[in-house]
Structure 1
Amino acid sequence: MDVEKAIEFVRMRGNELDRARLSHALGEDFNTDEIIDGFSRIQNPDGGFPYGDRKGFPSCLSNTAMALHVLLELNLVDSEPAGRAIDFFQGMRKDNGTWEENPKIMPLDPPFWDMPGDDDTTIWITADIADVMQRAGRNVTNETLAFLKSQQEADGRFKGYYHTTWIALSLFGKNGLADDKVFSRALAYLESVDLNDWDISCVAWCLDCMNRGGVGKDAPLRTRLMYLILDTQEQDGSWPSDGGEQLKIRDSIAVLNAVLDIILK
């Protein structure tokens, strides 16, 4: 992997937030006030972040989780936008411990993986929100944990999308809830899957969850993911993205974050 080319790609093509994330990953300073103001400007009055990050659109749980992940990545957990997002999640949690995507986004034609009322969407969003809340230092309720554990199959995979299974590596890993039974079964399943159809964003996200979960550096899955990163990097330093040119910068930052986390530890 050509780290310098990837860094240069983000510096040349990225916006203010992209460059701040890159600076933080490299241990450099960035203007925290401007970044916090940027999040505050689009955040909805209820504390959620709008669908598609479009100011004025209904609050979307997946967008809010993504925003909170970035705020935590930048060590801005104590910022006002992060606190309001956490409060939003606490208010949206259902009695059974799950989070269901906001039905108000339906007229906006959300993708199949973010469909309100869909069981598979509810499973992965519940896992993602539980993970980001736990990363933010908040307790995960017993109801949420019981729900998620009930979704793990005998082979270690969680029902629905792959996302939930790799999120479990973070949530139930040694820096999370340290539930080795759930963790080891999830890892064993992921070690067996075909990665050829994984988008680079999935590769980076899985690596991040492995890093936080404490998966060993010599784990076969880590090696396979790193080879995918090496094999698919383009001449300009970026990676192909299912989201097209618009998301190549975001995905490149995700790769850099995951890889630098391994290198610098």
Structure 2
Amino acid sequence: MDQADRPVAARVLTGRPRSRRALPTPATSADSPRRDHIRAGSVAAVVDIDAAVGFVVAHGDEVDRARLSHLRSGAPPPPELLDAAEVGQTPGGGWPATLGGDVASVDATCFRLSELDDLGALGRPAARRALDWLAARQLPDGGWEEDPALADVAPEWARPGDPEAGFHLTANAGFWLTVAGLDARAAGPLDHRVGGAYAGVVHAAAQSLVARLRPDGGWPSFLPAGWLGAAVLHRQEMFHEATRIQVRLADRVPELSPGDAAWLAATLRRVGIDEQDWLLVRARRRLAETQRSDGGWDSEDGHQFDVHTTLSAIRACR
């Protein structure tokens, strides 16, 4: 069954598969950041946001249109749509990797949090329970791994026992605990440190990531772990380490898919990196180069996911 033919609840639960490519050995040094001197606003103006909005309105379902409305104006979605977006949560707080599953997945829970973020729902009880569950799943070394029970069904970027997958999950979980922590009360009042109620958890995650970074700024994992990890380190004020990762990412921007370029830019913007940052300028340039005449962008995962990629691009260019 195509994604577009699924019921809303099933579609939101299963999410979108994301392609990740392992990072090869670098060909350039990461010691000297290269900055593009581009006039403020010059690249963002090339991305036709109005056309992108029109594409989502024309081809998206009710969840897509609600995400678009919140991204554009902050409009709250209908309560029944939020209930549908939260369907399938396990009693422990996480979401399973497959519809009807009973084993919660770190990767699936992070994906669901990204969907709920677009709906302005990170402060709702379901998201709070998910964040508590993620925090409780942290390993003693500060990292995360999937439940061994998921070994036969987990994608390569979430495979239990795989160090590369573990690094990616640590960056992903650390990112969502960073950005959503201030909306989650956990066991007590709000904590205004980075990560809010999960400040200690996020700090341990950052330390785990830094311990595995290479001297040249590379990381032993899949490509998206780079921008997720850079976002975590930036918010921890580990600016040197974050910048070294960003330099490595800049070399990859010209070959990024539209979905990856949008994911990179939206991730860094979500943690407060300025829109005229040199890496964000490059990512938006890549989006401008790859936007179709109908306003949408191609998804690596098939045209049924083009609306999702287009929403990511709109988020990246806000």
**Equivalent pair of 2:262/2:312 in contact (CA under 8 Å):** yes
* CA gap 1:215/1:157 in 2 versus in 1, 3 angstroms: farther
Is the aligned partner of 1:97 residue 2:157? no
* CA gap 1:107/1:57 in 2 versus in 1, 3 angstroms: farther
In the alignment, which of 125, 133, 137 is matched to residue 88 of structure 1?
133
In the other structure, the counterpart of 1:60 is 105
**Equivalent pair of 2:77/2:119 in contact (CA under 8 Å):** no
The Cα offsets for residues 47-91 of structure 1, whole Å up to 9 and x where unpaired, read as: 111214x23353221110111133234332221110110121122
**Equivalent pair of 2:103/2:149 in contact (CA under 8 Å):** yes
**Equivalent pair of 2:70/2:77 in contact (CA under 8 Å):** no
In the other structure, the counterpart of 1:118 is 162
In the other structure, the counterpart of 2:37 is none
Q: CA deviation at 1:206?
A: 1.0
**Equivalent pair of 2:158/2:168 in contact (CA under 8 Å):** no
Structure 2, unmatched stretches of 5+, are: 1-46, 182-197
**Equivalent pair of 1:92/1:99 in contact (CA under 8 Å):** yes
**Equivalent pair of 1:168/1:182 in contact (CA under 8 Å):** no
Is the aligned partner of 1:178 residue 2:222? no
Is the aligned partner of 1:255 residue 2:297? no
**Equivalent pair of 2:174/2:205 in contact (CA under 8 Å):** yes
Q: CA deviation at 1:256?
A: 0.3
- TM-score, scaled relative to structure 2: 0.74
When structure 1 is superposed on structure 2, of 123-132 and 206-215 the one drifting more is 206-215
**Equivalent pair of 1:36/1:79 in contact (CA under 8 Å):** no
In the alignment, which of 269, 290, 294 is matched to residue 211 of structure 1?
269
The Cα offsets for residues 110-168 of structure 1, whole Å up to 9 and x where unpaired, read as: 33222222111100110110111011122143432321111111111222122222113
Distance 1:214 1:129 in 2: 18
In the other structure, the counterpart of 2:171 is 127
- Residues paired across the two proteins, number: 255
* CA gap 1:236/1:78 in 2 versus in 1, 3 angstroms: same
The 3-state SS of whatever aligns with 1:107 is coil
Distance 1:83 1:117 in 2: 27
In the other structure, the counterpart of 2:61 is 15
In the other structure, the counterpart of 1:169 is 230
When structure 1 is superposed on structure 2, of 160-169 and 18-27 the one drifting more is 160-169
Higher RCO by CA contacts (8 Å cutoff, separation 6 or greater): 2
> Larger Rg: 1 or 2?
2
In the alignment, which of 215, 220, 238 is matched to residue 159 of structure 1?
220
Q: After the TM superposition, which segments of 4 or more aligned residues of structure 1 sit over 4 Å from their partners? A: none
**Equivalent pair of 1:5/1:236 in contact (CA under 8 Å):** yes
Distance 2:78 2:236 in 1: 30
Distance 2:139 2:170 in 1: 10
Report % sequence identity. Answer: 25
Distance 2:259 2:160 in 1: 22
- TM-score, scaled relative to structure 1: 0.87
* CA gap 1:3/1:12 in 2 versus in 1, 3 angstroms: same
The Cα offsets for residues 171-223 of structure 1, whole Å up to 9 and x where unpaired, read as: 122xx2122222222222223x2334322221111112332344444443223
